[in-house]
Amino acid sequence: MTDSNDRRVTANLSLSLDGRYHGPAGPDDFTMFAPYVTTEVARDHLTRIWEGATVALLGRINAEGFLSYWPSVAADENADPRDRGYAKWLVDTEKVVLSTTLTEAPWERTRMANAPAADVVAELKATGEGDILVNSSPSVIKALLSADLIDRLHLMVFPEIAGGGQRLFDDGLPASRWTLAHQEVGERGEIAMVYDRAR
């Protein structure tokens, strides 16, 4: 068993210049992201987020959305190897889905947790090894930022102002300082950044 301080909590999310993770038409509005998600920088970033992670922590919406997309990529021999690598990892790894409504796990190697994100993270840190990746699930990321439990943030910033939609960094978060561990700029102006929590 690993000391709980050894297990990092990492998170990834894509944002517009105005800090939004979807557009003004609602949670399914990703039109501003579409031109950038298949760039070289974005695909390399996708690989970076899961290396070292042994569990994916997901909200219900993302879990159901991922289920409808990524298993087919994992099986597609013609898919970009970086997309396929991530897809295979996601299918094969342990997944914990936070939900107050789902009772049955939507995937193999998945368990449901009807508990606060901070409690689930505490349990995972006490019982396993490897990074805990909060995988593109804004509601879970927000809860863990509020509890100051995220150790590494993988952010993709796309050069578009959405003008509406939900923001990741809401007012009222505790103040925190971060150090830049990696950055990469793509040909379309997209930026991949990795920030580590300075504690």
Q: Give 86-118 pLDDT, tens digit per residue.
A: 999 999 999 999 999 988 888 889 999 999 999
- Which residues, including other chains, have CB under 8 Å from residue 68's CB and lie 6 or more apart? none
For the chain, residues with pLDDT lower than 50 are: 1-4
Beta strands in 23-171 (DSSP E): 53-59, 94-98, 110-113, 131-135, 152-158
> What pLDDT was estimated at residue 1?
41
CA–CA separation, 73 vs 60, rounded Å?
Answer: 20
Domains and CATH numbers, the chain: 4-197 (3.40.430.10)
CA–CA separation, 68 vs 81, rounded Å?
Answer: 19
Residues of the chain with pLDDT > 70, as a percent, come to 97
- Whole-number mean pLDDT of the chain? 93
- Residue 169 CB neighbours (<10 A): 11
Locus of tokens 């038409």: 25
Closest CA to 155 of 138, 171, 172: 138
